[in-house]
Amino acid sequence: MTPPKHIWSGGWEAESEAEARRRAEAEAERQAHAAEQPEAPTTTGPTIAPGSPADPYAPERGRAGTTSRGRVAALMAVTILVIGGAAFAAGLLLDDNGDGKNGTTPVAALPSVGSKPIKPARGQTRAGTIYTQASPAVVSIRTSTGTGTGFLIDKSGTLVTNDHVVETAKTVQVKFGTDGRTIQGDVKGVDPSSDLAVVHIDPGTIPGGTTPLEFADSRGVSVGDVAIAIGNPFGLDRTVTEGIVSSLGRTLKAPNGFQIDDVIQTDAAINPGNSGGPLLDDGGKVIGVNSQIATNGVSAGNVGIGFAVPSNTVRQVVPGLKEGKTVSHAWLGVQIDTSGATNPNATSGAVIGSVETGGPAESAGLQAGDVVKRIDGQAVQDPTELSTIINSKAPGNKIKLTVERNGQSQEVDVTLQNRPQQVPSQTQTP
């Protein structure tokens, strides 16, 4: 089973990784000059959710780059952490472009609505009834590099889709399946950390009778619940598939290399072109935005393991993107070693494999090999818990870490910073 890949029908992966490499190389060069070093270390940008080598929708890319001998195995086992995906009610902030006193303002989440199972009329299936109600609000989104899916969430023309669908595009082509007209959509905002984007269309272009989709509270989703996906797989307009919620609390790599938390796993069939489409519950309410799939290394299509960004993350992020603002996420600035190479004696907690230069962890004196045991008194059993707790904070928050160093416990105060646009280049040996 290969790692999850985005389900965007186009060349998003090669282009995204090329841009990540360019940014990483530029940052490495800047740091080398700043330190007056004769030669900058060779680094690479983050690898973004690679797909199958045989995947025609993800063009073959070069190797992830080279590192000094002895670092390769260690780096492969290091998980980028404290990276996050906007856990709901996590204190996310919006850049208010200097209009506020502190430069940031709190996010007001979109409302959720209660969801009751739809009872189909006699002779209809539940999936068919939900499709009839929801599909008019589902759109095809096309850029110069490929096609994906989006959906309408209000009568003012707000569409939700994935960041990796729109990428750097300022405008996109939008089609409602009900009439087939091509509508220009303006990209209002993107958040690579949660893989979400907002597109705006003229409200007058919305087909008559189209009802915007509403969001359920994803905290109410349970394993085994009905899950219905609507999208444009392989360009097949408004295809519906039905399955169940297979698991909860998964994590995925976002387009900028950070981590998305609380992801919903489903066996509803989703394929290239489904990216950005809604995952619905049995009441026709949105519980997630379809974003990635896992493949078996042979097929580029569905093998029954798909992933959706949870609706509560969408509800938290979209209001700011709709206003063209930037969402800020808390950042600790460490990489976590899951190989055991940095601290082979650690049996629980999160072992720091390396500390990012200039990050809050470095400023606080955290070191490679430190084992994070608690944050503000809350136990950290594993790297996932560390990521989840940090994602519940906001930039500027002060936290107290209890760490184990050389067998001794000590407390370290850290002031979290705003996460950078890309995962920083790893320039030091873990």
Residues that are catalytic: 164, 195, 275
Neighbours of 97 (CB within 10 A): 11
Instruction: Please tell me the distance from the alpha carbon of residue 428 to that of residue 354, in angstroms, as a whole number.
Output: 7
Q: Which of 330, 334, 353, 352 minimizes the C-alpha distance to 415?
A: 330
C-alpha to C-alpha distances, 152 to 175, 205, 209, nearest whole angstrom: 11, 12, 12
SS3 166: helix
Neighbours of 127 (CB within 10 A): 20
Angle at 164 between CA 149 and CA 146, to 5 degrees: 60
Ranges of beta strands (E only) in 56-206 are 78-80, 93-95, 104-106, 138-142, 146-152, 158-161, 171-176, 182-191, 196-200
| Helical spans, DSSP H, in 35-103 | 72-76
42: left (phi over 0), alpha (psi -120 to 50) or beta: beta
Instruction: Please tell me the distance from the alpha carbon of residue 120 to that of residue 364, in angstroms, as a whole number.
Output: 58
SS3 8: coil
- The encoded tokens of residue 321 equal 């993107």
In DSSP terms, 379 is beta-bridged to 374
DSSP sequence for 406-423: TTEEEEEEEE-EEPPSSP
Ranges of beta strands (E only) in 96-143 are 104-106, 138-142
**Residue 385 burial (10 A CB sphere; 0-12, 13-18, 19+):** middle
AA letter at 2: T
AA letter at 372: V
In DSSP terms, 351 is beta-bridged to 371
